[in-house]
Amino acid sequence: MSAPEFAIDVSGVTKKFGTKTVVNTIDLQVKRGEIYGFLGPNGSGKTTFIRMLCGLLTPDAGRGTCLGYDVLHDQAAIKRNVGYMTQKFSYYEDLSIRENLDFIARIYAVPDRAAAVQRSLERLGLQNRSAQLAGQLSGGWKQRLALAACLIHSPQLLLLDEPTAGVDPKARREFWEEIHTLAAGGLTVLITTHYMDEAERCDQLAYLAYGNLLARGTTADVIASAKLTTWSVSGPDLRELAAKLRIRDGVEQVVAFGTALHVSGRDAQKIETAIAAVRDPRHEWKKIRSGLEDVFISLMDEAQDNFS
C-alpha cells in the first residue's frame, strides 16, 4: 500500500478547555516532504493543535489522519512515527548528551541502539560533546540535542514548537539548514515560529489566532490575501508623526521598522488621504510591498482574544 499524499489531513479539529474553545474547527492538509509554518500570537492554540496531531491530546470534535493513522483512534501508532520537539527543553540535565540519546532510543526500542546514538551524534555535530552534561549546554547546543533526540527513531513527521526561541542567529541558521536537508530527504516538518524570516523559509504557512485559522498558503498567498496597502516613511520626529497618523481614518497600523515607519491599511485611497494630511518636506514617503510582518501584525490586531 502506497503512502498517502498528505502527512497531515484533518478537518474540523476542535479542542475546548472548560468553556473556552482553544482550537476551533481547523482544517489542515500538509503534503509529505513539506515544511509547513504555523504562525500566531501566544495563546493562539498552536501548541494544543500540535499535541492533538501527535496523539498527546484527543480532539473534542473533527476527524482526519496523521501519517495515514486516525487521529482519534491510532494515537499510539502516531507517537511511534512522529518526532515532537517541545518549546521547553525537556531532557535530563544531569545526564550527558550520549546518555540522553541512549535513553530516548531505549524508549522507542531503536534497533542497534549504540550505533543509532552514534549516528545521531555525528549528524548533529555532537560527537565531541557527547560526554557533556545537558545542563551545561548553551541554548544552541540544547537545541541540537533536542533535534537529535527527535530524529533518533527515524520519524516520518517532525512537529517543532518554537524550536529556535532564545538561540543566537548562527544557531538558528544552522538549524534551518538541517531542516531543509531533512525535508529534501522526504521528512515532513510542521513548525511554529514567531520569526518572520523563518516563516518565509517554509513552503506553506497557516496563521492561527485564538483558535481560528485566519490565513494559509504560500508567503505570497498570505500577503496577497491581507490586501494591505503599505507606505514607508523616514525622517525626523517619527514618534510625533506616528501619533498623528494613528488617529487618521483608514490607518490601521503604524509600526516602527528600523529608522522608518510602516503605515498600513486595507483602503488604499483612505491611506493616501491620511498621508496627504500630515505630509511635510522633512519626510520621505515611499509606497512599498507589504511584508509578512506587516500582515502578521494586521492579523493580530483584528483577531478577537477568546480569553478576554
Last residue within a domain, chosen from 189, 222, 255 = 222
If asked whether residues 212 and 284 sit together in one domain, one would say no
For 274, the grid coordinates are 491620511
DSSP 254-293: EEEETTEEEEEES-HHHHHHHHHHH--TT-EEEEEPPPHH
Where does the pLDDT of residue 273 fall: very low under 50, low under 70, confident under 90, or very high at 90 and above?
very high
Cα–Cα distance measured from residue 201 to residue 56, given in angstroms and rounded to the nearest whole number: 28
What's this model's pTM, rounded to 2 decimal places? 0.89
Same domain, 20 and 96: yes
Domain assignment of residue 66, yes or no: yes
In a domain, 299, yes or no: no
70 and 186 together in one domain: yes
Among 109, 135, 138, 105, which residue's Cα sits nearest to residue 121?
105
Domain that holds residue 208: 6-222
Whether 301 is in a domain gets the answer no
Residue 128 and residue 211 in one domain: yes
Cβ–Cβ under 8 Å, residues 187 and 181: no
What is the number of structural domains in the chain? 2
Q: Which helix (H) or strand (E) holds 39?
A: strand 35-39
State the pLDDT at residue 301.
Answer: 79
Q: Are residues 13 and 87 in the same domain?
A: yes
CATH number, residue 279: 3.30.70.2070
Q: What confidence tens digit (pLDDT) does each residue in 17-44 have?
A: 999 999 999 999 999 999 999 998 888 8
Do residues 216 and 261 both lie within one domain?
no
Dihedral sign for Cα atoms in the order 104, 67, 225, 302: negative
C-alpha cell at 214: 485566519
Same-domain pairing of 60 and 148? yes
In a domain, 304, yes or no: no
Q: Is 63 helix (H, G, I), strand (E, B) or coil?
A: strand
